[in-house]
Amino acid sequence: MFIQKTKPFLYLGSFYLIVSLLLRTVFLLDPITTAHFGVLEILKIFAVGFINDCFVFILVCPFLALYFLFLSDSKYRKPYGQAILGLLAVLFLYILLIPNNIFKQYGGSIAEIALIFIGLKILFFGLMFLLPERRVKIRNIFYFITIFLYVLLIVFNTVSEYFFYSEFGLRYNFIAVDYLIYTNEVIGNIMESYPVVPLFLAIFTVAGSVTIFIYKKTKAELLTLPDLKQKLILLGSFLVLTGISLLGLHFTTKITACNVFEEEIQANGLPKFYWAFTHNELDYFQFYPKINQQRAERIFLSQFSEPVLKRNIISGQPELKKNVVLISIESLSADFMEHYGNTQKLTPFLDSLADRSLMFTNLYATGNRTVRGLEALTLCIPPTAGESIIKRENDKNKFTTGSVFSAKGYDVKFLYGGYSYFDNMQDFFAGNGYGIVDRNNFKPEEITFANVWGVADEDMAKKAIQTMNQESRSGKPFFNHWMTVSNHRPFTYPNGRIDIPGDAKSREGGVKYTDYALRMFFKMAEKQEWYKNTVFVIIADHCASSAGDVELPVEKYRIPAMIFSDGFIQPQKFTETMSQIDVMPTLFGLLNFSYQSEFLGQDVFSKEFRPKAYIATYEDLGLIKDNHLTVISPVRKVKQYALFQQKNKLDPAFTLYFDEKPLKNTARNEKLVEETISAYQSTSFWLKKNKLNR
């Protein structure tokens, strides 16, 4: 009898395990998986993955278990049926009519959700109570719907994980959590990027077919409902299995892997999603290696001429109150440009501009999300574990590049073609003194093309020129930070602008169109009176992809950056390793600004500068220095890799590759390990104590 009553779980579980096996196989064959595995490694991946999937399936079964536990005919008999129906009706009226009921006190949509749930419960219970002769048929319908929802979620999750892995080379992480929060942009992105109607038809067809099969094989179990003893056995078994699964996942998720791809493929996406959802900000001092705080600060601050957090930057030259336009380009990897070896001629304008600019040829992004790039260029500090500061509650009144310009009398603005509430940008920039120009500021006639992420870059270019003309008429210098949007999936843009159709939805097209829009912007800018007195900083926010064999694949963090000003900045290449957080302090040095600094980036032309770069994911924090990559991770893990140079015909400074196997502890450079810990520990401590404020 016990085995019979568990048949629905066995069929659903078998389907889930088969689908997970197929998904794991697809991940191994996916082009983004650049690692190669031996037979034993593949067997390990599938064995660990199978165990993970078994545990996860048990943990997602509570609703199905509750469904079977509450199956009963006795609750519909008099007087129990009337009593239950009456209580449900009273609860419905309580939520509907009492203004300050307990559900409304929780805020949000809790009361509305509770009202809908109780209303449906009254409807379904009433049907079962009033139509006893049709009870079995109605129960079968509800059972079919329950199984269908489980199967649909399994299929939908599998498809979602496939697309997520194909783009990021990872199972679910913080990005997936963002996708759940920013549903408008994300659903719009999916609608514009993929053949949604055929895709959803396929999903529902597969889910429906599997549901019909499971339903036919198991519906007979509803003819004889379990008694109280059987229900207690089922409940006890489920609780024991749940405990085993929770304990088991605690160990299987810690099984070591030889590279990131192995770790991700053998994992299950749902626990990773849960972990990301509950760890918006990681406590550095709980999860990461640390040293004495005073020693950490002393080591980190020793790189500055004045080894204190608040330092006086004094220029011996007169300050140059030039206008500054900072352009953050969405997802522009270094290897899209000809200067870094690309032969597709995707960025003809940027490559020509680089020849007339101060170009930083060996610069690394701090992270793999737009908010990380904005954080690096605005706060000029190393990344910290968890979410970007831009998305944290304590994101206002920081010491920023905008606050330096404001103190110098500049008009400071953030320009964005989309709605700046996305990724909390509006709250962050407005809370730090920036004016905001975004899609809300566009008149309908000013938009020639838009997708879910915002207006086309050429439309934003026109709006930027319009904004700068207004600012220049005020007599004040201006600082504008423009974040582009077109080089983002779905990569759609107006047709007829470049030789790749705007509806081809190709990344190469997105890159080339953004290059076209920037050419158009500079052509318009050249005709303005303020142009000759303006410095342009052009830099990517992050690379197009961060997937790699190790935690922090160095080559996936290298981005292009240049500073251009006709007649002011002399063309040259700066080839030393540097970080995204060094760009704005370097610009302030070129403008001879004197100010009290809390930036943790450096002017690369100062005598104190030492080549280095900070790169990170949400968990792994790295330092590139002295031909080593040092990575610290939860829980107090330390790895170090040896870097070496890969020569490139167009760019002799091309530093890309490193040994994929970490150095043994005896071969590690402990001084660099200590420097890495010092940098991230100090930054985390100062943020925690609100010391990086205006």
Please report which confidence band the pLDDT of residue 4 belongs to, taking 50, 70 and 90 as the band edges: low
Instruction: Determine the Cα–Cα distance for residues 73 and 423; give it in Å rounded to an integer.
Output: 50
40: Cβ contacts below 8 Å, ≥ 6 apart: none
Distance of CA 527 to the CA centre of its chain: 39
468-507 pLDDT, tens digit per residue, is 999 999 999 999 999 999 999 899 999 999 999 998 999 9
Residue with tokens 């915002």: 454
101-150 pLDDT, tens digit per residue, is 777 655 556 778 888 888 888 888 888 788 888 888 888 888 899 999 99
What pLDDT does residue 5 have? 63
- Asked if residue 11 lies in contact with residue 214, where contact means CB atoms within 8 angstroms, the answer is yes
- H-state helical runs in 61-134: 62-69, 80-97, 110-130
269-278 and 39-59 helices, crossing angle to 10°:
60
Residues 327, 328, 332, 337, Cα dihedral to 10°:
30
The letter for the amino acid at 320 is L
Beta bridge partners of residue 325, listed in sequence order:
480, 536
Average pLDDT over residues 304-333: 95
Please report which confidence band the pLDDT of residue 656 belongs to, taking 50, 70 and 90 as the band edges: low
477: Cβ contacts below 8 Å, ≥ 6 apart: 321, 322, 323, 324, 408, 409, 410, 411, 533
- CA distances (Å), origin 65, targets 18, 56, 97: 21, 15, 33
386-439 pLDDT, tens digit per residue, is 889 998 888 999 999 999 999 999 999 999 999 999 889 999 999 999 999 999
First to last CA, the chain: 70
Best CA proximity match to 604, nearest among 314, 341, 256, 359: 359
Instruction: Determine the Cα–Cα distance for residues 49 and 16; give it in Å rounded to an integer.
Output: 12
Average pLDDT over residues 546-572: 90
Task: Collapse the DSSP code of 437 into the 3-class scheme (helix H, G, I; strand E, B; otherwise coil) and give the result.
Answer: strand
Task: Collapse the DSSP code of 595 into the 3-class scheme (helix H, G, I; strand E, B; otherwise coil) and give the result.
Answer: strand
| pLDDT for residue 353 is more than 80 | yes
Best CA proximity match to 692, nearest among 252, 389, 263: 389
What pLDDT does residue 450 have? 93
Other CB atoms closer than 10 Å to residue 610's CB: what's the count? 13
What pLDDT does residue 105 have? 56
246-293 pLDDT, tens digit per residue, is 999 988 888 877 788 888 899 998 888 887 777 666 788 878 999 999
Best CA proximity match to 70, nearest among 220, 235, 221, 223: 235
Structural domain boundaries in the chain? 2-69+149-278, 72-130, 285-317+326-688
Average pLDDT over residues 446-469: 96
Backbone angles phi, psi at 412, to 5 degrees: -115, 125
Please report which confidence band the pLDDT of residue 322 belongs to, taking 50, 70 and 90 as the band edges: very high
Strands 613-616 and 323-329: unpaired
Ramachandran assignment for 273, one of left (phi > 0), alpha (psi -120 to 50 degrees), beta (any other): alpha
| pLDDT for residue 85 is more than 90 | no
| pLDDT for residue 32 is more than 80 | yes
- Asked if residue 188 lies in contact with residue 439, where contact means CB atoms within 8 angstroms, the answer is no
Backbone angles phi, psi at 637, to 5 degrees: -85, 145
| pLDDT for residue 94 is more than 90 | no
Pick the CATH number of 285-317+326-688 from 3.40.720.10, 3.40.50.720, 3.40.190.10, 2.40.110.10: 3.40.720.10
Other CB atoms closer than 10 Å to residue 682's CB: what's the count? 23
